[in-house]
Structure 1
């Protein structure tokens, strides 16, 4: 295998049994020269803002971001206020990763997602203005604010240089992201996981269309990507370790099921076998019998360290500018060590 070289590498933290491990992994990633730590927040698990606040106090250089929060549950003023504070605590290392959430979770907490693209456009536009310390009045289709601004009378009153990254899976969200980058609102896309590298090709096409529509180029769009990693010297054990997560997300997140490339009929069978959301461990184990090794390996970087590095390189060849690694096993530090060897930074 020709040795790959990654310009940047990050990690993604989420759902460790002991929250102290997540803090420790952020510190370890920084010590090994990795570039970013992203905190998951797509389900009702740990609140990313709280954990990221802890990261700001135990690290000095690594970038910190939610991967991703959503554009509904925190109003625009609160989001700008939160990241203004985190930016101060981190010494200017924050990024705002933000997505349009997903059903059925959004519906269950009373969120109307009928116009997620419009919501994303309006929300990010207003947050950017607030970061720039503008006084904002905005009348939109999903968002209305009047005469608001960050009230920084007694704190650092300089604009907040917090780049916004749009969590995108489908082609329309990629195109909208390109447009937001092109008009100076966003810094890039946070490409999703549990999809094959080939899925990036359409995303890249749509990003290019969007950014060029606003007079920019694809080089203006930063493209970190969440990538699920299951690493073990025993290749089969690595694949088996990833099967449950793949099953759960194919069966319960429609955008993942569509993007994963699974046969639609089989995807419907997996969803039916899982039953109502949220699935139990028993549901996932039962439905996993429908998800074979090929499906798992298509959407997860699974296998030996050499297998995993090679598969992550496939994502970078397809457009990713920074792999953000989610280790499905407990060997997070080993994954960091392996990729630190190939991190050009």
Structure 2
């Protein structure tokens, strides 16, 4: 079997004990020829926009995006302002990854996620028009704006070419995202992690159906993907290091539980053992005893460096166009070095 090759590579930064490490990893990834750095913002952790502003000033080439922010807590006009500014700061390297968030966190901060598909459609439609520097009036079911546009009197007044990616897991969201690509509203999807490569194949069918409905082709849909990597020369250690995260998602995210390969009855037991969100360390440790090695390796690139590279290649064979690597351990630079050796020269 020939060695895997990767045309594009990215990293995913998330919740390191020292925020300066995230800055350093972005710089190191750029040095090693990586293309993107995505900043996690799915919980009430560090604000991705602030960190990306820092990236814009300490890197020269690498592109960056939230992976992903949500479409509720930032008004669509504010989101356009934010990414117009990041576009200027970075000489056009800013991208936007945006998702429909999740409960119970959304409801805990007062967000009613009724019909997230329609909300996302309207939000991205208005956002794209604002970034194109149009004057926008839009009266939708959820998004309504009247006679607004970015006020760029004192700055570069050219359209903001900010790529937009919807964080899509469910097949319906993937189909809708394909339609938005076909309509020229967004550029692609940011495929989720902790799902098996076989789920990518289903997503590809939904994306194809959506983009072709609008007269496009699946090649029009860019498909970077967040992929968890747990790497160690001792395969058993690597798998054990990933088990806690897998356990949390099986117990708290139904779409992960349904697609991870775990027996449905055992999956329900994991949910019961966790006892809701957020789970304590003790709850996770107890529930993780129910999660087998096979379940972990089905949805995580876990094992030796060779195991990890092959698993990530499997995701690419199933539809991912750019792996976005999330090192579950502190060996981020080792993960970057390992995959850089397999990156094709440009």
TM-score range, shorter chain: over 0.9
Pair 1:239-2:216 in alignment: no
TM-score (norm 2): 0.98
Shift of 1:290: 1.0
Report the alpha carbon displacement of residue 94 of structure 1 after superposing the two structures with TM: 0.8
Q: 1:225 to 1:152 in 2, by over 3 A?
A: same
How far the C-alpha of 1:266 sits from its partner, in A, is 1.9
Distance in 1, matches of 2:30 and 2:291, equals: 36
Structure 1: gaps spanning 5 or more residues? none
The alpha-carbon deviation at position 10 of structure 1 amounts to 0.3
Partner-residue secondary structure (3-state), 1:237: helix
Q: What's the Cα RMSD here?
A: 0.9
Q: Write the distance in 2 (CA, Å) between the matches of 1:118 and 1:79.
A: 18
Give me the whole-angstrom Cα distance separating, in 1, the residues matched to 2:252 and 2:168: 17
CA offset digits 1:187-239 (Å, max 9, x no partner): 00100000000000110000000000000000000000000000000000000
In 1: Cα distance, 2:184 partner to 2:261 partner: 33
What's the CA shift string for 1:87-129, capped at 9, x where partnerless? 1111100110000001111111111112010011000000000
Supply the distance in 1 between the matched residues of 2:9 and 2:25 (Cα, whole angstroms): 14
The 1-side partners of 2:313 and 2:128 are apart by: 33
CA distance in structure 1 between the aligned counterparts of 2:256 and 2:143, rounded to whole angstroms: 27
Q: CA-to-partner distance for each residue in 1:164-183, whole Å, 9 max, x for gaps?
A: 00101110010001000000
Structure 1 residue 261: Cα displacement: 3.3
- C-alpha separation in 2, matches of 1:85 and 1:259: 39
SS of alignment partner, residue 266 of structure 1:
helix
**In 2, distance between residues paired with 1:108 and 1:255?**
20
Is the CA contact 1:260–1:299 (under 8 Å) kept in the aligned structure 2? Answer: yes
- What aligned pairs does 1:192-231 form with structure 2 within 5 A after superposition? 192-231=192-231
Correspondence 1:68-87 to 2 at 5 A? 68-87=68-87
Alignment of 1:227-306 (within 5 A): 227-306=227-306
> 1: distance between equivalents of 2:237 and 2:307?
13
1:146 aligns with 146
Q: Distance in 2 between matches of 1:116 and 1:321?
A: 26
1:60 is the counterpart of 2:98: no
5+ long unaligned stretches in structure 2: none
Whether 2:186 is the aligned partner of 1:186: answer: yes
Corresponding residue SS for 1:302: strand
Residue 37 (structure 2) pairs with residue 15 (structure 1)? no
Residue 289 of structure 2 aligns to a residue whose secondary structure is helix
Q: 1:103·1:253 contact (CA, 8 Å) conserved in 2?
A: no
Instruction: For residues 256-288 of structure 1, give each alpha carbon's deviation from its aligned partner in whole angstroms, at most 9, with x where no partner exists.
Output: 223323332222211111112111111111111
Work out the CA distance in 2 between the residues paired with 1:122 and 1:261: 34
Contact 1:170 1:259 in 2 (8 A): no
Q: Deviations over 1:15-62 (max 9, x none)?
A: 101101000000000000000000001111111111111111100000
Runs of at least 4 residues off by over 6 Å: none
1:41 alignment partner in structure 2: 41
Q: Matches of 2:259 and 2:96 in 1, distance apart?
A: 24
CA contact (8 A) 1:169 1:259 kept: no
- Please say if 1:114 is aligned against 2:127: no
Matched residue SS, 1:198: helix
Change (3 A) 1:332 1:213: same
TM-score by length of 1: 0.99
**Matched residues in 1 for 2:218 and 2:50: separation?**
34
- Range 266-275 or range 9-18, more displaced: 266-275
Secondary structure in structure 1 of the residue aligned to 2:197 = coil
